[in-house]
C-alpha cells in the first residue's frame, strides 16, 4: 500500500525518495512524474484507490504558488495528511510554507538518510492527527508479530538470543522492529546492545505514553542496527511500580506500531511475564543441556498448558549446546515433550560478542552458532516461515 505520494518531474529526487523509503519505512511510494499539480486532494486519493496517504511530497520542479495553494487545501480539509515541500529553503519560503500548513521544507539535494528521518516524523504526525480525528490510519487492521523469549531459569543466554532475533529481523524490516526488556529488575538488553538509554520501560508505561503512541515512540532508543529498544529500569526498585496491566497495554501499543515486537522476559513465571505471554503470537523457549534446566522447562510448559497461556506458535531452542554435556537432543525432546527446533552450539565468538555488546548477527563473522541464530530468525520471516510449513520437523544435531 502506498503511504507516500510524490509529485515531481525530477527523476533524481524520485530516486532519493525511493531510497529513503524502500526497506526502511512501512508502505510504498506512488510517484507522479509531472510538474502540474491537481486542483483538489481527492484527485490524489483516486490514484491510490480512494485511500488517503500519510504524506504528500510536492516538488522539486512544481510551481511554488500551486504547491502553497494545494497545501492550504490539505491543511483545511485533510489535516491528517502531512504535506512536505521539496525546494531550496529560505526565510521567506519557510514563512509561506508555515502559513500554508506545510509540515516541512526539504532541500532538493537532501540525502536519503536525512529524508527518511523527516518522512518518518511526518508519518507519526499524520497518525497522531488521525487518532485525534477518529480517522483510521493505514494498517490499523494489522497487528505486529509479538515474539516472547522465555526460560524458567537464568543463565541460558535468553537475552543473547532475544537481541540477535531483534537485530536479525531488523535486516528484514528496518526501523520496524522493537525489543522490550521485561526483566524489569536485572535486564541486560541495554548491555547486550551497548546502549545507554535516556528512557526505560518506566517511561514507556507512564500515563502520557499510554495515552499517545507518539509519546511512547519518543521513549524508545534507536540502535545502529536499525531497531528500537525499550530497556529495563536503571533502578530495580522501579520494577515494583510496573503492573501486569501496564505491561500488556505497552505490548499492544507497540504491536500496533511495529512489524515485530521482541519481548525479553525475566526467568520464571512472574506476573509481568504471564501478562506478556498473553499478548504473544510466538513463544521462544530457551534451555541449556542440563537436567535441572530441561526439567524446569517441562514443568513450566505443563503449568502454562493448564492455564491456557501457550501461544499458538511455539519454538524450542537449545542454547550453548554441547555434545559432551551428557544429554542428547532425543533426551531433551523426550523430557520436554516437544521437538527441538534449533540447536545453537557453544561458541567463544558468541560469548566475546555478547561481552562487547554487539550481537553476532550484527557482524559479518560467521560460525556454526551464528548460522543457528540465523535459523531462529528465519522462523519469523515470511520466506522462512513458508519453508518451515513445507517441511516436516527434522531432528537437529548437536556438534
Average pLDDT estimate for 145-169:
94
Q: What pLDDT band is residue 132 in, cutting at 50, 70 and 90? A: low
CA distance 172 to 55: 23
What is the per-residue pLDDT for 134? 57
**One domain, residues 86 and 174:** no
- Angle among Cα 235, 241, 244 to the nearest 5 degrees reads 120
- Cis before 98? omega within 30: no
Write down which residue in 133, 168, 187 finishes a domain: 133
CA distance 34 to 40: 16
Q: What pLDDT band is residue 181 in, cutting at 50, 70 and 90? A: very high
What is the per-residue pLDDT for 389? 47
CA-to-CA separations, 20 to 117, 120, 260, in angstroms, rounded: 9, 10, 20
CATH number of the domain encompassing residue 231: 3.40.50.300
**One domain, residues 194 and 54:** no
* 22 domain residue, yes or no: yes
Q: What is the pLDDT of residues 107-123, one digit of tens each?
A: 999 999 999 989 988 88
Average pLDDT estimate for 4-20:
94
Strands 227-230 and 313-321: what pairing? unpaired
Q: What is the pLDDT of residues 80-90, one digit of tens each?
A: 899 999 998 88
The pTM of the full predicted model, rounded to 2 decimals, is: 0.65
Q: What is the pLDDT of residues 201-252, one digit of tens each?
A: 999 999 989 888 888 988 999 998 889 999 999 999 999 999 999 999 999 9
CB-count burial class (<10 Å; 0-12, 13-18, 19+) for 325: middle
Query: For residue 5, what is the enclosing H or E element?
Result: strand 2-7
Q: Are 344 and 372 in contact (CB under 8 A)?
A: yes
Q: What pLDDT band is residue 387 in, cutting at 50, 70 and 90? A: low
Q: What is the pLDDT of residues 247-302, one digit of tens each?
A: 999 999 999 889 999 999 999 999 999 999 999 999 999 998 889 999 999 999 99
Structural domain total, the chain: 2
Q: C-alpha dihedral over 297, 342, 146, 125, to 10 degrees?
A: 140
Q: What is the pLDDT of residues 40-71, one digit of tens each?
A: 999 999 888 788 898 999 989 999 999 999 99
* 138 domain residue, yes or no: no
Average pLDDT estimate for 144-170:
93
Write down which residue in 101, 133, 165 finishes a domain: 133
What is the per-residue pLDDT for 262? 97
Write down which residue in 111, 133, 155 finishes a domain: 133
What is the per-residue pLDDT for 91? 84
Q: What pLDDT band is residue 322 in, cutting at 50, 70 and 90? A: confident
Average pLDDT estimate for 302-324:
86
Q: For residue 224, what is its C-alpha cell?
A: 545502529
Q: What pLDDT band is residue 1 in, cutting at 50, 70 and 90? A: very low
Q: What pLDDT band is residue 133 in, cutting at 50, 70 and 90? A: low
- Whether the predicted pLDDT of 397 surpasses 80: no
Q: Are 41 and 53 in contact (CB under 8 A)?
A: no
Q: For residue 179, what is its C-alpha cell?
A: 525489543
**One domain, residues 177 and 123:** no
What is the per-residue pLDDT for 390? 45
**One domain, residues 257 and 191:** yes
Average pLDDT estimate for 20-35:
86
- Whether the predicted pLDDT of 147 surpasses 90: yes
Average pLDDT estimate for 376-395:
64
Measured in degrees and rounded to the nearest 5, phi and psi for residue 348 equal -65, -30
**One domain, residues 302 and 372:** yes
Q: What pLDDT band is residue 2 in, cutting at 50, 70 and 90? A: low
* 183 domain residue, yes or no: yes
**One domain, residues 13 and 89:** yes
Q: What is the pLDDT of residues 182-201, one digit of tens each?
A: 999 999 999 999 999 999 99
**One domain, residues 194 and 217:** yes
* 322 domain residue, yes or no: yes
- Whether the predicted pLDDT of 398 surpasses 60: no
What is the per-residue pLDDT for 384? 61
**One domain, residues 158 and 251:** yes
* 139 domain residue, yes or no: no
Cell 497495554 belongs to 249
Q: Return mean pLDDT, the chain.
A: 87
* 117 domain residue, yes or no: yes
Q: What is the DSSP letter of 367?
A: -
Pick from 247, 292, 245, 297: which is nearest to 269 by CA? 297
CATH number of the domain encompassing residue 8: 3.40.50.2300
**One domain, residues 171 and 124:** no
Specify the range with the lowest mean pLDDT, choosing from 18-32, 220-234, 282-296, 329-343. Answer: 18-32
**One domain, residues 152 and 290:** yes
* 15 domain residue, yes or no: yes
Q: Are 221 and 228 in contact (CB under 8 A)?
A: yes
**One domain, residues 71 and 182:** no
Pick from 178, 175, 181, 226: which is nearest to 202 by CA? 181
Pick from 41, 36, 19, 37: which is nearest to 28 by CA? 19
**One domain, residues 347 and 200:** yes
What is the per-residue pLDDT for 263? 97
Task: Please report, rounded to a whole number, the percentage of residues in the chain having pLDDT higher than 90.
Answer: 54
Select the more confidently predicted residue: 310 or 266. Answer: 266
Beta bridge partners of 265: 182
CA-to-CA separations, 252 to 20, 66, 258, 306, in angstroms, rounded: 28, 42, 10, 24
CA distance 132 to 290: 53
* 140 domain residue, yes or no: no
Structural domain of 224 = 145-397
Amino acid at each position: 500500500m502506498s503511504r507516500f505520494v510524490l509529485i515531481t518531474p525530477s527523476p533524481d529526487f524520485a530516486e532519493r525518495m525511493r531510497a529513503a523509503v524502500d526497506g526502511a519505512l512501512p508502505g510504498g511510494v506512488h510517484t507522479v512524474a509531472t510538474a502540474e499539480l491537481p486542483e483538489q486532494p481527492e484527485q490524489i486519493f483516486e490514484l491510490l484507490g480512494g485511500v488517503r496517504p500519510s504524506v504528500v511530497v510536492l516538488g522539486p520542479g512544481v510551481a511554488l504558488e500551486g504547491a502553497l495553494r494545494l497545501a492550504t487545501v490539505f491543511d483545511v480539509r485533510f489535516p491528517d495528511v502531512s504535506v512536505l515541500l521539496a525546494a531550496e529553503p529560505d526565510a521567506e519560503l519557510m514563512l509561506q510554507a508555515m502559513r500554508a500548513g506545510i509540515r516541512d521544507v526539504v532541500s532538493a539535494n537532501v540525502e536519503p538518510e536525512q529524508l527518511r528521518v523527516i518522512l518518518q516524523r511526518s508519518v507519526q504526525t499524520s497518525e497522531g492527527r488521525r487518532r485525534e480525528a477518529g480517522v483510521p490510519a493505514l494498517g490499523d487492521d494489522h497487528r505486529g508479530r509479538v515474539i516472547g523469549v522465555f526460560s524458567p531459569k537464568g543463565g541460558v543466554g535468553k537475552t543473547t538470543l532475544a537481541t540477535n532475533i531483534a537485530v536479525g529481523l531488523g535486516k528484514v524490516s528496518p526501523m520496524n522492529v522493537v525489543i522490550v526488556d521485561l526483566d524489569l529488575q536485572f535486564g541486560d538488553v541495554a548491555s547486550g546492545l551497548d546502549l545507554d538509554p535516556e528512557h526505560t520501560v518506566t517511561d514507556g508505561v507512564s500515563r502520557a505514553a499510554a495515552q499517545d503512541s507518539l509519546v511512547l515512540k519518543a521513549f524508545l532508543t534507536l540502535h545502529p542496527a536499525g531497531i528500537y529498544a525499550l530497556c529495563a529500569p536503571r533502578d530495580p526498585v522501579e520494577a515494583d511500580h510496573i503492573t501486569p496491566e501496564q505491561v500488556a497495554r505497552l505490548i499492544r501499543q507497540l504491536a500496533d506500531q511495529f512489524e515485530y515486537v521482541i519481548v525479553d522476559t525475566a526467568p520464571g513465571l512472574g506476573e509481568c511475564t504471564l501478562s506478556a505471554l498473553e499478548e504473544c503470537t510466538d513463544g521462544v523457549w530457551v534451555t541449556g543441556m542440563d537436567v535441572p534446566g530441561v526439567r524446569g522447562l517441562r514443568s513450566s510448559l505443563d503449568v502454562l498448558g493448564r492455564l491456557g497461556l501457550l501461544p499458538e506458535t511455539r519454538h524450542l531452542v537449545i542454547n550453548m549446546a554441547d555434545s559432551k554435556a551428557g544429554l542428547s537432543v532425543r533426551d531433551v525432546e523426550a523430557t520436554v515433550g516437544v521437538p527441538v527446533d534449533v540447536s545453537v552450539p557453544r561458541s567463544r565468538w558468541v560469548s566475546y560478542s555478547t561481552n562487547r555488546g554487539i550481537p553476532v548477527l550484527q557482524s559479518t563473522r560467521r560460525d556454526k552458532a551464528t548460522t543457528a541464530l540465523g535459523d531462529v530468525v528465519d522462523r519469523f520471516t515470511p520466506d522462512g516461515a513458508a519453508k518451515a510449513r513445507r517441511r516436516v520437523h527434522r531432528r537437529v544435531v548437536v556438534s
